[in-house]
Structure 1
């Protein structure tokens, strides 16, 4: 052994001994958000998807605690965009339909599990994710986002469905945040996300679980109020005056034992709506099975049953709906599995992983599914992925 080799070995032994000694003396303190989950991974669960209205290869996805990721080649490669931001818990993504470099992100995942982390307001980028600005932590801190939609006629106007942090017992996922019990419901911004107003005018101050806009007539907005434990205010509400006044819809929709609700409006036939209803959960999270899917052909005035999907007893965690933008007769329900209905004919079309949380359609008409296993893409309406 030459002298240089002997020197390197000696230095290595000394360093190893020093590190081992320090490791034995040092202790780590959990700084939160606590308690830290050590029972399994969940950060990569895809809770939100945003797509470009014109570029079929540009997607943004959000992880339950994995931040925002971007692809410019339809999912072949991805880049992390928000690792440096204060929270990586993502609940909603909205891409400006006139400029896909402008993206709004609602932080805090509204899927109600103990590991669905609370949020710290809204992130916005105007350069495709190269830089971000944080807004409205004082308005939304400690809570979560179910969905955000942008008015296509005036993209400074944004609606957000906001919910409490989840968990069992209630608010466990808020981890003691001081604003955990702050206002929830439907919020509106008219200044591109900088400031927000909680809408009333017939809307209850209850968790909003989904929101959808009529793209042909964007003064019409539908909101799903869906407290997972059940609330007298739970149901679907409609405004035709940009959120000033709201009417609760009935005409065949369930009225008892209602928990989380998801909905969507057909882009090509906006009088056609679909909704997925879940039973209310017990205080320990049991019993939240699927009530069924429902369809309206007259803008929500009347409804009839249209299929459904298995949610086991976890409908508070597994619920999403999406209408094929080119075919108002075709709807996808996401739960434990995925069901596709074309007219009255239904089939199971689950992608390579179960537990559905989000849907989106890219600019070429391909379907994206966000689930516990990541994000999956289908170019044939779910027949293969």
Structure 2
């Protein structure tokens, strides 16, 4: 709730891959949400707070640490530190000292005798197959100068030198005591522990790790994990905590569930165990786990896992107050979408509260009742996380389907989406329209559970094996669907789930492709150039192997096309140009060369990442009339080039009208060159894929070889450029908008060595620009965001 709104009706909210939003009146169902900072360098919002001594100062943390682990699915977001506003959220800047913080779990600001002390929980995590370690370390970081400098204040984990406790939760009581609930680190150490301090300084912490020991000695669920702490605003001596424990699944990853709830009546000096709602109340506590106390009643508390529960007697007994399954019958007073993440009470109220979940924002004005009434407040809050999308093949049609995280498969018919548009449940996976018979479309949920629809009606179900969101493609000519059949553990190795006879007479079988690979197929691509009556596939693997499969419909014949310099990484897409000789392969890991091109059917490969930032690339799309024009779906929106076939390829961001949001899939309707972009955080978008429309000339410079830094970025009024050059030539700085118009150009005198220049950009309107710095011999082009 915005502290600068005297009525406390304005609410701020963050999507973990969808950016920062606000609503001017959460109580008015006609007021929509407004996004802020569409072109920040990072939209993975994890937490929001403000300075109690100056409520114009806001802080936003990035990076979803709770899901940043090896698990059955990948739906997280790597962070980029902390963003700050000093004018109540009007403008924002990234705090430079925090860019090494990969995941921010929580931020709290405490008034310490008139000084605003910021506390930030910093964690490391796993994302896209790589460990991303925060620098200089995990821990609780304290700043008393607005985030300019930081000090890590937590102790090392007992028994593990050089490993710092990782905060999962920060709670400041009404009398100022700071509580930290921990989570397990990358080595599974240090979870299920509470630390508290009155000063917040290094060496001042009391450690309560009884439940770390209890869980460690549990024969089955024996990994001490996430801990939440909730204090009673009306009584600082009353504090509650809940603990999760983890266990190794048969699939080889750790799952975590809620295990214990405890209470202290003396400010954390001693604790008593309370009852939990039931054994299955929080089955995925790594993802959904929240605890909150009524502001005026210290005996009333709420906990959330999949659903919400309430106790009016300090946890002696619980009432089940929400029901996610009501989504399948149109909602109701108890409907709150599954998987609870946060609860915030309106300041001064015990009746009005906001609840956040995988389904967005829900409001109640009757939180004090035994069974509150909930209202969905998602108007305009477009943070849907799509894994996939499909576009009706008829030119001009506005019919789309898409599978998304924990919101099933939605059928878009030209009107704003709602839960009534869900045609398939669970987590929606790959989906397809039949190019020849548009009355047929196919949807799926996790692990290859497919459904065929004809004229909007269910006609058949099929599928088996695979991974959680298992890649697939559909041969619309032969009516055969091909999906990865290999599991997360490697069982069913080399196999594709081949389903022929769609829609009515389906033959569902697991077929060995003869690739001799032991890992899952990460991408499946059907070739439109398959000889009549046959299916040619291109298959990519999680370890960077590429195969061409001929006669996949009958007796598969595999040929390996892996490039000699391909990274051992996840092939995310195989795009086919005007023939099977022209292929683009992308990888979705950090720290690898992520775009490759062949023009001779895989005999030779050329690396084409060039000026792209180090981000996952998730999809590629050739223009149907120009092999040199390629569109990429990336972790930060859309990038394009029309120089794919040239020796020097330059990529340009092309997310205008969208955002710097992760994009998982692109689908092209060739009848009118409409592209559907399935974003993982901002819903579905369409654009016309015209020839050369995205290319803007950027002087006569080549790809950069010098080290150029621009900061801050996003920028407001002024911008610093710093570079090291071995040239005595003058430096030319030019800025173009996304339509290619020059909006700034200046020549600066310089020489060899380090060059630093402060630029006045106050005349530039907020938006996305391309900034080019050149010395007459070479240059670099960077993305610039102006707030």
Match of 1:40 in 2: none
Of the candidates 370, 375, 384, which is equivalent to residue 356 of structure 2? 370
Alpha carbons 1:118, 1:173 under 8 Å: kept: no
Distance in 1 of aligned mates of 2:115 and 2:36: 23
Match of 2:244 in 1: 278
Describe the shift of the 1:282–1:59 C-alpha distance in structure 2 as closer, same or farther (beyond 3 A).
same
Describe the shift of the 1:328–1:160 C-alpha distance in structure 2 as closer, same or farther (beyond 3 A).
same
Distance in 1 of aligned mates of 2:135 and 2:253: 19
Alpha carbons 2:95, 2:148 under 8 Å: kept: yes
- Secondary structure at the counterpart of residue 265 of structure 1: strand
Q: Which moved more, 1:317-326 or 1:96-105?
A: 96-105
Distance in 2 of aligned mates of 1:221 and 1:149: 10
Distance in 1 of aligned mates of 2:135 and 2:301: 35
Of the candidates 21, 24, 28, which is equivalent to residue 69 of structure 1? 21
Match of 2:49 in 1: 94
Per the TM alignment, residue 160 of structure 1 is displaced from its structure 2 partner at its CA by 1.5
Alpha carbons 1:259, 1:281 under 8 Å: kept: no
Distance in 2 of aligned mates of 1:105 and 1:98: 17
Q: Residues 26-65 of structure 1: matches in 2 within 5 Å?
A: 51-52=2-3, 55-65=7-17
Distance in 1 of aligned mates of 2:191 and 2:305: 23
Residues 179-217 of structure 1 deviation map (CA, whole Å, 9 limit, x = unaligned): 55751121111112232211134666132111111232x
Q: Which moved more, 1:320-329 or 1:53-62?
A: 53-62
Per the TM alignment, residue 138 of structure 1 is displaced from its structure 2 partner at its CA by 4.9
Of the candidates 202, 205, 212, which is equivalent to residue 246 of structure 1? 205
Match of 2:258 in 1: 290
Distance in 1 of aligned mates of 2:138 and 2:238: 27
Distance in 2 of aligned mates of 1:173 and 1:321: 30
Match of 1:205 in 2: 164
Residues 243-266 of structure 1 deviation map (CA, whole Å, 9 limit, x = unaligned): 331111257784523211111111
Per the TM alignment, residue 59 of structure 1 is displaced from its structure 2 partner at its CA by 1.3
Query: Which TM-score applies when normalising by structure 1?
Result: 0.77
Alpha carbons 2:97, 2:148 under 8 Å: kept: no
Describe the shift of the 1:129–1:174 C-alpha distance in structure 2 as closer, same or farther (beyond 3 A).
farther
Per the TM alignment, residue 268 of structure 1 is displaced from its structure 2 partner at its CA by 1.2
Match of 2:373 in 1: 384
Per the TM alignment, residue 347 of structure 1 is displaced from its structure 2 partner at its CA by 0.6
Residues 81-121 of structure 1 deviation map (CA, whole Å, 9 limit, x = unaligned): 12121000011111233444321001111222532211111
- Secondary structure at the counterpart of residue 111 of structure 1: helix
Of the candidates 275, 278, 283, which is equivalent to residue 307 of structure 1? 275
Superposed CA RMSD in Å reads 2.6
- Secondary structure at the counterpart of residue 66 of structure 2: coil
Distance in 2 of aligned mates of 1:72 and 1:100: 17
Higher fraction of strand: 2
Q: Residues 64-213 of structure 1: matches in 2 within 5 Å?
A: 64-74=16-26, 76-113=31-68, 114-136=74-96, 138-141=98-101, 143-153=102-112, 154=114, 156-165=116-125, 171-173=126-128, 179=133, 183-201=137-155, 205-213=164-172
Match of 2:341 in 1: 357
Alpha carbons 2:193, 2:211 under 8 Å: kept: no
Alpha carbons 1:252, 1:303 under 8 Å: kept: no
Alpha carbons 1:207, 1:225 under 8 Å: kept: yes
Distance in 2 of aligned mates of 1:233 and 1:112: 15
Alpha carbons 2:16, 2:43 under 8 Å: kept: yes
> Which of structures 1 and 2 has the bigger CA Rg?
2
Describe the shift of the 1:328–1:232 C-alpha distance in structure 2 as closer, same or farther (beyond 3 A).
same
Distance in 1 of aligned mates of 2:321 and 2:22: 26
Describe the shift of the 1:159–1:55 C-alpha distance in structure 2 as closer, same or farther (beyond 3 A).
farther
Distance in 1 of aligned mates of 2:115 and 2:342: 22
Describe the shift of the 1:251–1:278 C-alpha distance in structure 2 as closer, same or farther (beyond 3 A).
closer
Distance in 1 of aligned mates of 2:55 and 2:361: 20
Q: Which moved more, 1:272-281 or 1:93-102?
A: 93-102
Of the candidates 223, 246, 252, which is equivalent to residue 180 of structure 2? 223
Alpha carbons 1:117, 1:173 under 8 Å: kept: no
Distance in 2 of aligned mates of 1:222 and 1:362: 22
- Secondary structure at the counterpart of residue 165 of structure 2: coil
- Secondary structure at the counterpart of residue 280 of structure 1: strand
Describe the shift of the 1:312–1:274 C-alpha distance in structure 2 as closer, same or farther (beyond 3 A).
closer
Distance in 2 of aligned mates of 1:180 and 1:192: 20
Q: Structure 1: which 5+ runs fail to align?
A: 1-49, 166-170
Distance in 1 of aligned mates of 2:96 and 2:151: 11
Of the candidates 196, 219, 233, which is equivalent to residue 267 of structure 1? 233
Query: Does 1 or 2 have the higher relative contact order (CA < 8 Å, sep 6+)?
Result: 1
Q: Structure 2: which 5+ runs fail to align?
A: 69-73, 158-162, 217-221, 323-334, 375-787
Describe the shift of the 1:269–1:138 C-alpha distance in structure 2 as closer, same or farther (beyond 3 A).
closer
Per the TM alignment, residue 139 of structure 1 is displaced from its structure 2 partner at its CA by 5.0
Residues 311-345 of structure 1 deviation map (CA, whole Å, 9 limit, x = unaligned): 55411111111111111111111111111111123
Paired residues in the alignment total 327
Distance in 2 of aligned mates of 1:191 and 1:233: 30
